[in-house]
Structure 1
């Protein structure tokens, strides 16, 4: 990518083009690291919180591309932190690092562009499966360029709900939410990548996703994807923040109220283009 690439005009269209390009190029870097299994290793940032060298390399690659083409934009990454401005890119360079480190091909890169307090562009890419989820506010959601939509599930006894978990929330609170979800009849599972879990709600592979605390870089792109795919989401930037994170809920509409009741997480009215926070 060069400094004067005409694809990267200084507007949302240009940023969308950069987002697509850089998430794929970062994906190639991440996939290369994943395939080098004989040399792969991991360390722990905290209990059950894996850090690989690939995380840092992926984030540096994305940061450099954004700085080169949009030097006035802020950058907030999981590994290196950053600043928050009116225009900010929020990046998780590898979500699902525990899977990555253990040779499980269920991980992704997540990039969100936020302007004026609203997520405008979202992308989630699993390079191991070559699946790129992408959306712009008001333009719908796609998987590898084809439109996607949430599931048509209407009852809990047919629902598959994924739940995320972390040490930031007491075990008993998490278990109580799971008990309530199971009592409603849902199948509850965990795939260990919150960003992909949200993408799977957007394309109907799951019916809902709940995490009682999630960082912004893990969830912003996925929440916008779900909203653009016709789903219901929580007002993340009202009940949480870019810096500190917050609770996350995304659901197909028919069971959203029940998921909200079980988790205690509020939801927005069902409007495709009203995701996350008003202007």
Structure 2
């Protein structure tokens, strides 16, 4: 893995942020969590961890802006994208599928991406044109297992009936289904060759930026809106690994919401 100053910084920061999140959860006060909306929670740790990340970026890269889940921000020619805790419900419940995601965008392209999953002791990182790595080992989004697995994200921002139709369609195609509850985990699993695909009707850029680079640098394919629009409005996201099953599927029909059952 070729050294990269920005990637090394992001990786160290994501791991530091993950340790902080774990410590804050351990000593959580009674008012640690509050609801932002239906099935949407925020903790004191989300805010504290994002604040730490912003402080570190400001000190290391003065003048570079940050778009984060908790404190907002705006896209620009060069900006960082931060999700302090993706998978907050899992984090709260003590389930391991959550992570800290940090990405850097320049000229409308994701150039660096890191996902740290503290409870799983995993660190995934990618640099544009330089490959994707998990624990320092190259990742490849290639699957040859006879059973396909699709991870399908869901939030209350999208239509439940359509989501259920997609579940039925996936199973009708001979595939199995998983929902991790964290986009960063779903995308990491595609990049690592553990899942054939990840789909979510609407994601915010901070949910996906690091994971999208992991998938593309591991040899997968990602479909979403251009990054500036993604940053403003969110986007549909489809990430595909390389497998015979993926090649057989009519993903255009799947995304369009045609009658699949």
TM-score, normalised on structure 1? 0.84
Aligned residue for 2:230, secondary structure, equals: coil
Give the alignment of 1:181-260 within 5 angstroms: 181-237=170-226, 240-254=229-243, 255-257=245-247, 258=249, 260=251
Shift, 1:28, TM fit:
1.1
Shift, 1:69, TM fit:
1.3
1:263 equivalenced with 2:254 (yes/no): yes
Map of 1:100 onto structure 2: 91
Shift, 1:50, TM fit:
1.2
Give the alignment of 1:81-92 within 5 angstroms: 81-92=72-83
Unaligned runs of 5+ in 2: 257-261
Give the alignment of 1:105-120 within 5 angstroms: 105-120=96-111
Map of 2:168 onto structure 1: 179
Map of 2:11 onto structure 1: 20
Q: How far apart, in 2, do the equivalents of 1:80 and 1:163 lie?
A: 27
**Which among 41, 51, 54 is matched to residue 50 of structure 1?**
41
Aligned pair count?
252
Unaligned runs of 5+ in 1: 1-11, 266-279
Shift, 1:259, TM fit:
6.2
**Structure 2 vs 1, CA of residues 92 and 259 (structure 1 numbering), >3 Å: closer, same or farther?**
farther
Shift, 1:19, TM fit:
0.7
Map of 2:259 onto structure 1: none
**Which among 37, 51, 54 is matched to residue 63 of structure 1?**
54
RCO higher in structure (CA 8 A, sep ≥6): 2
